[in-house]
Amino acid sequence: MKKIIPSLLLAFSFSASAAVEQLPIIQTKYTADPAPMVHNDTIFLYTSHDEDDANGYGFKMQDWLLYTSTDMVNWTEHGPVASLKDFKWCQRDNGAWAIQVIERNGKFYMYCPLHGNGIGVLVSDSPYGPFKDPIGKPLVWQKEHWNDIDPTVMIDDDGQAYMYWGNPELYYVKLNEDMISYSGGINKFDKAPLHYQEGPWLFKRDNRYYLAFASTCCPEGIGYAMSDKPTGPWETKGYIMRPTERTRGNHPGIIEYKGKDYVFGHSYDVLRLLTPDHHERRSVNAAEMKYNADGTIQEVPYWKDVVLTSVKPFDPYQRVEAETMAWGFGLKTIPNGVRNMSVTNVDNGEYICLRDVDFGKKGAKKFSASVASKKGNATIKVRIDSKDGKVIGELPISSTGSDDVYKLYTCKLEKVKGIHDLYLTFEGNGEGLFNFDYWSMKK
Ligand code: FUB
């Protein structure tokens, strides 16, 4: 994902009040099948992962990723939290399709389709993992077909948990309290709800049950059905997002967060910045969603046409991981120690944008960044409001001797007050200027 055309990116740059277009929320990797979960005031966004070299119409998917946010616009990458290798009974090296994670009694259960080998389950004591296979076999696997994909799990108010899944058929089981076994056999709907294709997302709101889904392929929109029981019958009510030629696939994940409702899905809009050719390299999108008084859902325009707003300003007076961003097209990430990542592939002209950064009443005096650079001779410019906006600080980066040896560099900042989008723009000679671990500001 290299070589940005600056004139193109101008059209996509963010400003404090509005973005010209709302592009996918993750850019450093290709992500699909969003499965958001709210826990302790944080959004944990689990995704599947399209590899950068997936070509044509074939999926190349080996692990599952985690991103977190507390404001809906700036996302921190945590890297892979589970992979096909976590299932010893499955010898596949491709097929890590759409997951969902749900918490019960302090444990986090990840339901994973291993395309062609049924659905497995992993468990962890933390939403960050590590996730382990507690049963050593598939949770469900109907070997006569490959329909067992896209699990979604909901725990009802009476404690009964349900897992739905399937493409193009729709199935469910009643999970036992242990969340790793089920009772009563597999139930198959004689007829899936109208427009149902795949990617079910089961949830309850105000005593109404909802089944959102990717609608009949292709292109897929996001449809939804409602019922007064968790087991149906389901009546399709319409589209949350109409199918459009602007994307081919879609896949819903729905949450309520800090009083607002959001639908997540995916598109090819990051890939489209690079090529009109089709490859299964998707990117997760999100948009605010609204309910009507009768519980039906208002249609959401295409992802690009509605701008996400942050639910709270971003605090720069803390250690901020460099892999926290609203926009970082062209950049990549690498592991850096245990449960830590760095931004890499930093080329001249690239930048990180964080939206709605709160400099406070007085403004920041200093900017520090932890950077490793063999090459040196680079600069991080601290700008506000746009990637070509006012420079409030310049941080020269000299060689640290190696791209693995990190050093903390500090520069003065011209004080600016209030809330601004922050742009860290990178300048130097060519490509691979440095690796970037974290930054912070001081008042
Ligand atoms: O990502 C692989 C598959 O594509 C998912 O399981 C489906 O929902 C579709 O998004």
Ligand 1 centroid to residue 150 C-alpha, Å? 7
The pLDDT-based confidence of 339 (bands split at 50, 70, 90) is confident
Token readout for 429 is 């000679």
Give, for 10, the enclosing helix (H) or strand (E): helix 6-10
pTM of the model: 0.95
- Pick 226 or 11 by higher pLDDT: 226
Find the angle CA(282)-CA(288)-CA(294) to the nearest 5 degrees: 125
Minimum CA distance residue for ligand 1 atom 3: 97
pLDDT on residue 219: 95
User: For residue 257, what are its two tokens?
Assistant: 């967060």
Tell me the CA end-to-end span of the chain in Å, nearest whole number. Answer: 36
Question: Can you give the three-state secondary structure of 343-398, one letter per residue?
Answer: EECCCCCCEEEEEEEECCCCCCCEEEEEEECCCCCEEEEEEECCCCCCEEEEEEEC
- CA 12 → CA 15, 20, 269, 305, distances in Å? 10, 6, 12, 12
pLDDT of residue 247: 84
Per-residue model confidence as pLDDT tens digits over 42-85: 999 999 999 999 999 999 999 999 999 999 999 999 999 999 99
Residue 9 has pLDDT above 90, yes or no: no
Model pLDDT, residue 346: 98
Residue 253 Cβ inside 6 Å of ligand 1? The answer reads no
- Looking at the CA of residue 115, tell me the nearest atom of ligand 1: 6
- What mean pLDDT do residues 239-248 have? 93
Residue 33 Cβ < 6 Å to ligand 1 = yes
The yes-or-no verdict on residue 422 having pLDDT over 90 is yes
Ligand 1 within 6 A of CB of 97: yes
- 276 Cβ contact list (under 8 Å, min separation 6): none
Query: pLDDT tens digits for 363-412?
Result: 999 999 999 999 999 999 999 999 999 999 999 999 999 999 999 999 99
Q: CA dihedral in degrees (348, 349, 355, 360; nearest 10)?
A: 70
* C-alpha of residue 85 to centroid of ligand 1, in Å: 19
Residue 44, phi then psi, degrees to nearest 5: -100, 110
Q: 96 CB under 6 A from ligand 1?
A: no
Please compute the mean of the pLDDT values over residues 241-248 and round it to a whole number. 92
Q: In 10 A of CB 106, how many CB atoms?
A: 7
Give percent of the chain above pLDDT 90: 93
Cβ(115) – ligand 1 distance below 6 Å: no
- Residue 149 Cβ inside 6 Å of ligand 1? The answer reads yes
What's residue 14's pLDDT? 41
